Amino acid sequence: MAQANQADIHALTNAVAALTGAFGGPNWINVQNAVTNLNNTVNANNNALQNRGNHAAQIPTFYGGNQDPISWLNEFNLAGAANGWGNARKLQVVLAYLKNAAAVWYQTVMGNPVNAWDGAANPNTFEYIFKQRFRTPALLELWSTELDQRQQRSEETVDQYASSIQELYQRINDNAFAYPDNLQARKFVSGLLPTLYALVKPFGDQTLQGAIDRARACELTVKEGKGKLHNLAITTQTETAELVKLVSTLVTHVGELTKKVEAQPARFRPRIDGQVSGPNVPFQPRNPNLINTSIVCYTCGQPGHISRRCPNKAVNSDAPVVTVAKVPNVDTNLLQGLLQQLVIQNTSSAPVQSLNE
């Protein structure tokens, strides 16, 4: 437990002295009043001892050098407000949170009448002389360069990027110089991610807060749109996968059918040149050049004669006639190319069965 200060001890001593004097007086009421005052003093002293050293917020420490003075000052003010400190109390305790070079500096200026915490450009206020000492030109140049190069990162939200920009402007802007609000808004918009920049830039917001609010709204819209596109992509991938399966099955069937047709034995016997014509042999023109190739036999599928004069029918007159449907020429390369295109579009990368397998 922290020790009581001199004022608390003095108050307690006076209360005891008053009580002692009251016992020697003629009135009992004086004794009662002295006892009441003593109880009040003791209770106040106990409350002071319990609360002394207990803070609602942790107080930051400032060392000087390259430490950011503006951030420290903001944190100190916020912690003081959380602890219930007024400006007078902050003036009393600030020296305890200045260390090394900062503490040496403040001890040299304590002889000046620093009688206020904040205010306008006044050498008698702590915040003014503190900024004058530690907000150096080198730090200003560093912050300005960081502001010029600051861009929204891919993993950064609009709020995170906006907080960083606003903090840099708080460090740079002061009573002597401050960036106009429209320039601050323009700088913020120029650093947005390309998708958000294209959405926010056409509105030409003239205030930083207006540009931040619009960027937030556009960010929500982009996220919602990405969700819809994701759902559409899943549906498209499913449909493409089904189409790939169908085309793959078709390729397989065409390949099997082609192999079966090529493996079937010949159904007709070709006519041998010089064969003696008989009553069952159709008439053959003497000049082969006069054969009409546009006529195709329905029985054997050969050009140059009709079905009732087919030589194959004459040779196999006792065997039943089997009609084989003519298989259309299938461009397997075209089917294979179609299948490859579907597979490329399908992110699921379904296995492709080659026509050559």
Structure-token pair, residue 336: 């294979």
Number of H helices, E strands in the chain: 13, 0
pLDDT at 307: 79
CA distance 254 to 234: 30
121 and 165 share one domain: no
81 and 126 share one domain: yes
246 located within any domain: no
Range of the domain at 80: 69-135
- 3-class secondary structure per residue, 101-168: HHHHHHHHHCCCCCCECCCCCCCCEHHHHHHHHHCCHHHHHHHHHHHHHCCCCCCCCHHHHHHHHHHH
39 and 11 share one domain: yes
79 and 129 share one domain: yes
272 located within any domain: no
How many domains does the chain contain in total? 3
- Which residue type, as a one-letter code, is found at position 125? T
211 and 143 share one domain: yes
Q: Which of 221, 246, 281 is the last residue of a domain?
A: 221
Helix (H) / strand (E) containing 62: none
What number is the average pLDDT over the span 14-41? Answer: 61
Q: Which of 111, 135, 159 is the last residue of a domain?
A: 135
Q: Which of 135, 155, 180 is the last residue of a domain?
A: 135
Q: Give percent above pLDDT 90 in the chain.
A: 33
Predicted TM-score (pTM) of this structure: 0.50
pLDDT digits (tens, 9 = 90+) for 34-48: 666 566 556 655 554
Structure-token pair, residue 350: 């379904």
What number is the average pLDDT over the span 216-223? Answer: 92
Residue 244's pLDDT band (boundaries 50, 70, 90)?
confident
pLDDT digits (tens, 9 = 90+) for 167-217: 999 999 988 889 999 999 999 999 999 999 999 999 999 999 999 999 999
Provide the mean pLDDT of the chain.
76
What number is the average pLDDT over the span 49-77? Answer: 82
320 located within any domain: no
Helix (H) / strand (E) containing 173: none
